[in-house]
Every structure is written in C-alpha cells, then in structure tokens.
Structure 1
C-alpha cells in the first residue's frame, strides 16, 4: 500500500504526521511525500525523517505546482495494489487507513471513501461555508444520484491501482480529483465503499483551499455522477 501526502511548506506538521502513520497503520506500506520545489520547507525535515523511516520517500511533483498536480503525480507513481491520499496536517486520522484497507479486501472495492457525513463520521472545525457545501454535495449525491458514499468530496480515499490505471485524470484545479474519480467509478459500475472518519481542521500551517476558484470544477463532477441514472 502506498500512502500519498501532497505537501506545501509543511515543516511544522510532517514529522508528527509520519510518526502517527508509523504508529497507527498496521498494513505494510510506503509513504510518498509529493512536493513542488526543492525550496519547500518540508523537504529537509523529510530527509531527516528518512534516517529513521526508510519507507518514507520524497517524490517531486512532475506536473507543476499545486495540490492537484501533486496528487496526480502521486497516483501515477503507485506500484502497490492500493493508494491512499491523505493530508499532511493530520486532519485525517491514520488509524482509519486500516479500516479502508480491510474494506477494500473484503468487498473487492475499487474505492473506499473516508466519510465525514455517514453515521460515526464527523467534521471538526474549518470554514463554515466550505463544510456546508461539502455536506450538501455529499448527501444530495448519496440520496438523489444514489452514489454509495455520503462524502464524495473528501480527498481521504483509498484507490485500487488497477482502477486508477484505467482512468484519464481530467481535473484542472484544487482537490476535485477526489470527486472526479468517485463519480467516474460510480458511472462505470465499480465497487465503492465507505467508512466513517473524523476530519479535524489543521492547528499549524496554512490551508491552500480556494473554494470559489474551484467551485465550478466540483460542479462538473457533481453533475457527472447523475449520468448513472
């Protein structure tokens, strides 16, 4: 299993995140840290971490700056059976990765979504309007489009690599690749599962989420999911 973490100046967070992953994730794994530029403050910290954790790798973003390009790079570099995208601020609890892996194995799932909006899930903190729109998108897709997750927009997802190899990534901004891939999987009749997760807003560093700039990108894939009907 490959854990993909896109970073941008996460020197304050990355060591803690890696330590939690190594303590809490019990599935054999490697961690690929995807960074934009050599000047990124995360790089020297990870270089030091690698002296302790040899399964942690630095992978340079090959498509240009930005989180979308970092995630694309990470997903294309996977050679293991599964890939998981998670953030560098510990907003996603690492122990949930074990549950996601087990569900993928049990149900032969192509995607397992970490869900904030199903029973047992929760979102703690973050901008109110962002949370409201995310919840609205997730629940309407679930109840009206019958998408088998309550949380299509969450980036915290496990992907089967064989599914990824069949896809062309079309996203052009922000974190939209998460909703793109789950919508495509649904339209293609792939197996999608979900498990509850508790998302917690970052306590260090600065988020680069740009809601209004990326909203139209999300809407494209929101409506795409209805093609299944």
Structure 2
C-alpha cells in the first residue's frame, strides 16, 4: 500500500530540509513505498529554491506551488487533489510531527484495516515538547468543546497529523476549510460519515525556526463554523452522506 505525505509549506526555507531529511532517514529503515508532496503556498522567502534541491536529492519528493488562494487549508487541499497513494497523511513542514509516529500510523492502518488513524498528543504515551502554555490551554478547551458538541471520545481533533485512506478523502469532499479549521473538518466528517478509525499516541515538538502560521485570534470563528457545519450534518442530514 503506497503512502502519500502532503506537507503545506509557507516560508519554511529554514525548516523544510531537516523535515524531509528526517522523513527519508526514518523511511530508509523500513520497506515502505511512499511519495512526499510539498505544496509551496506562494512563499515569499527561498522555500521554492530549497524544494528544487530536495526534489533533485530525493526521487520520492515532488513539489507544487499553490499560487492562490492561499492558506493552510487551501494548501492541504491542493495536495489532497494530487496525491497518488492508497493512503495519505498530512504533516507539518516544521518537523513538529515525528516520521516514526507516521510509520506507526501506517502499520496500525494496515494491520487493523482502519480507514483512518488519528494521533493524540494528550493520551497515555503521547507527549508535547515546548508547547506554548496559552496555546495549550486554548487547545484543551477547544478539544473539550468539540468532544461535547459532537459526542465523541477523541481528545485531539485539532491535531493536523492524521492518516486517511484515499477513499476517505474522496468521501469527505467537498472540503470547505481554507485555513487551519481543515484540521477538524477532515476527521469529524470521516467519523460522521461512518469510516472506521483508531487513535494512537503521538508526539509534538515545537518548531526550531520561524514562527507558527496559526493565528489563534483569527481562527475562533472559522473553527466554530466548521463545528456547526459538522454538527448539522451529524444530527440533521439523516445519514445522507454516510459511507455505503
């Protein structure tokens, strides 16, 4: 089963090389057919030039430039329209996600024949390293609200780092989110629409370089919109979108 990795990248010239090197080093230890699709989200630094070098170095690396509209969700959607694998993971360009966790995701999916594998940084075995305190408080409150509203047990829905089979991505379309609210749209739709999933612990490490692209003040209403959208689908669509 071929694994695709979609990585959105906006002004990540300092981080992206280490991220790709780490993925390829981890994957060199296992026999796993894969591709890495990096979506340059119209970066204003030298990200594009760095991607050109990485594509020459690694046959598995492809890159595309999303000229617009731009934003985390748009960039991920751009990649999700272009991957060729049987399953696809969304990873961050700043090496906050562990490639070894991704190998565990993949192994779990294959062995359990799950449609989705979700990570949780806040269950037994999960960990966060250098997580900003205020951001962590907001994260836990937001995830608690999502759990209560959607009546699910999963406690890290906002975690972008997840693995989906190809048919799940097709099954949750159309994807609406232009920004980081995509991180909750994909898993909530997958759960609502009847795809099987499991949750395993994963780690998260704060970025070494640059600054986070998540602007909390700008995202509250966008997360709320997607949450309401998914709530309406779950309780009022009469299962019209459910997996057959």
Normalised by the size of structure 1, how large is the TM-score? 0.90
The reply on whether 1:170 has 2:172 as its aligned counterpart is no
Q: 1:111 Cα shift?
A: 2.1
Return the alpha-carbon distance in structure 1 between the equivalents of residues 114 and 151 of structure 2.
Answer: 17
Q: 1:39 Cα shift?
A: 5.1
Aligned equivalent of 1:10: 12
Aligned equivalent of 1:86: 91
Aligned equivalent of 1:125: 130
What is the count of residue pairs matched by the alignment? 228
Equivalent residues in 2 for 1:86-165 (5 A)? 86-142=91-147, 145-165=150-170
Return the alpha-carbon distance in structure 2 between the equivalents of residues 169 and 124 of structure 1.
Answer: 31
Return the alpha-carbon distance in structure 1 between the equivalents of residues 191 and 119 of structure 2.
Answer: 16
Q: 1:76 to 1:40 in 2, by over 3 A?
A: farther
Q: 1:4 Cα shift?
A: 0.8
Answer with 213-222 or 163-172: which moved more.
Answer: 213-222
- Where structure 2 has 5 or more consecutive residues not aligned to the other structure, the ranges are 236-244
Normalised by the size of structure 2, how large is the TM-score? 0.85
Return the alpha-carbon distance in structure 2 between the equivalents of residues 150 and 204 of structure 1.
Answer: 28
Q: 1:145 Cα shift?
A: 3.8
Q: 1:219 Cα shift?
A: 2.0
Q: Secondary structure at the match of 2:99?
A: coil
Alignment root-mean-square deviation, CA? 2.1
The reply on whether 1:30 has 2:32 as its aligned counterpart is no
Return the alpha-carbon distance in structure 2 between the equivalents of residues 114 and 18 of structure 1.
Answer: 20
C-alpha contact 1:62 1:69 (8 A) present in aligned 2: no
